[in-house]
A = this chain, B = another copy of it.
């Protein structure tokens, strides 16, 4: 039957393409079409349904099927990512990675491919959650689904941090968590301290808050505490936004001494640390500022986008009770709630079932192998991995002398390969000789294209 359905679809599409059927024209009725093309009415119904799903035609109740009357592409700035102004700014990697088609290679993207995720466990968990009419249809409570907040509190207890489930606020993503904190804590012009290099979207986010970015060099085990304190004393930043381990883009992690010192410096200067630890589960254990500090001067952020599913859109904040209250009200005012209760309950289901722990153990092993493989391949091409990544999928690599990562990223983009050039991560624009690679997303083909484009300059 598939062949006949496709025949019907091709016939109708051909009539539209040739102009025999124009926008808004009525299609032949199911019976007419079946008779004309010598197929069964069921075949035509299925073909029309698929064309409705594709947006080619529209069904109008009691009238029939019509060629879809879509507006022409709007005038104004170009609409598709590849056609956009090609300036490399903090949005460049986001747009190029998120809007890429399935054929595009994305060694510069910041997430794992679908086949690294526990798909069957996610499907089972979603089915279980969707069976509950309340989870399926209603808004949920203002702090977010209690079963997930309880699991998060239990996981924190396992790390040695006593946190009540009411000190956890679920959000629509890790980024949204940071955005809420910025809304609560920042006024335009306030200084915010970032690592150099740091996750590129921190800069885009802070620009949306009209914050003044101040940066501190990120060393092999985090910022140098003396230099950090001098900058804090001089610039009086309201927030310091960072990842404990693995750090983005370097994959490095704080030493215990640095993780211990920074919250003390923050407390002394009235600065709040936002510890964005959405990669935390990629390392078995690492010193966490939120744990050492007991959530006094530190706010902890997390998400399941990197380890379970980015599509479920669920992040969280752990913080002092009075801050959570204020953030909760702010999230109601600006979003009428956080993540889908259905998504949050499904995530809780995966956590409870023990599948998450097994999945993460497997991910760590697989990623360690992938990082080693990629480091070897990159080394053979003359790239050098910076520092000693403690986990995760990111490798931060120095290019051979004479190479510029922005030029290389532009050249590779034109050939269907999205790279993450160093300066999008660098507030001081001093990382032009670096690229961030995703060990789970870098194919031999992408490396070959990159090598060819590197050869052009040599």
Contacts and interface: CB of A to CB of B under 8 A. Distances in A.
B99 A142 contact: yes
B201 A333 contact: yes
Contact of A176 (B69, B79, B112, B334): B334
A183 B188 CA distance: 13
B329 A91 contact: yes
Nearest to A207: B333
Interface string A72-97: 11111101110000000011001100
A322 B175 contact: no
Contacts of A340: 311-313, 340, 343
A133 B126 CA distance: 14
A425 interface: no
B115 A309 contact: no
A334 B208 contact: yes
Interface in A294-323: 305, 308-313, 320-322
A308 B136 CA distance: 10
A342 interface: yes
Contact of A352 (B52, B71, B139): B52
A114 interface: yes
Contact of A151 (B55, B95, B126): B55
Nearest to A150: B55
A291 interface: no
Interface stretch (A1-9, A162-170, A217-225): A162-170
A369 B359 CA distance: 51
A311 B141 CA distance: 11
Given A164-B71, A173-B336, A336-B175, A139 B310 contact: yes
A60 interface: yes
A127 B59 CA distance: 23
Nearest to A75: B321
Nearest to A184: B208
Nearest to A314: B340
Contact of A141 (B58, B91, B99, B174): B99
Contacts of A343: 340, 342-343
Nearest to A174: B336
Nearest to A295: B74
Contact of A205 (B55, B114, B188, B334): B334
Interface in A229-283: none
Which 9 pairs between the two chains have the least Cβ-Cβ distance? A74-B321, A71-B162, A114-B133, A55-B150, A204-B333, A175-B336, A76-B321, A179-B334, A139-B310
A117 B312 CA distance: 22
Nearest to A143: B99
A430 interface: no
B336 A201 contact: yes
A157 B67 CA distance: 12
A37 interface: no
Interface string A411-444: 0000000000000000000000000000000000
Nearest to A84: B325
A198 interface: no
Contacts of A133: 114-115, 117, 119
29 contacts: A49-B353, A68-B157, A70-B165, A71-B163, A72-B164, A76-B325, A77-B321, A77-B322, A95-B142, A98-B140, A98-B141, A98-B337, A99-B141, A111-B138, A117-B136, A123-B127, A123-B130, A123-B136, A136-B309, A136-B311, A137-B309, A173-B336, A175-B334, A179-B334, A183-B208, A208-B333, A311-B342, A312-B342, A343-B343
Interface in A99-120: 99, 102, 111-112, 114-115, 117, 119
A31 interface: no
Nearest to A132: B114
Given A70-B154, A79-B166, A147-B53, A332 B130 contact: no
A404 B311 CA distance: 46
A42 interface: no
B310 A339 contact: no
Contacts of A90: 333
A280 to B, nearest CB: 17
A35 interface: no
Contacts of A311: 135-140, 340-342
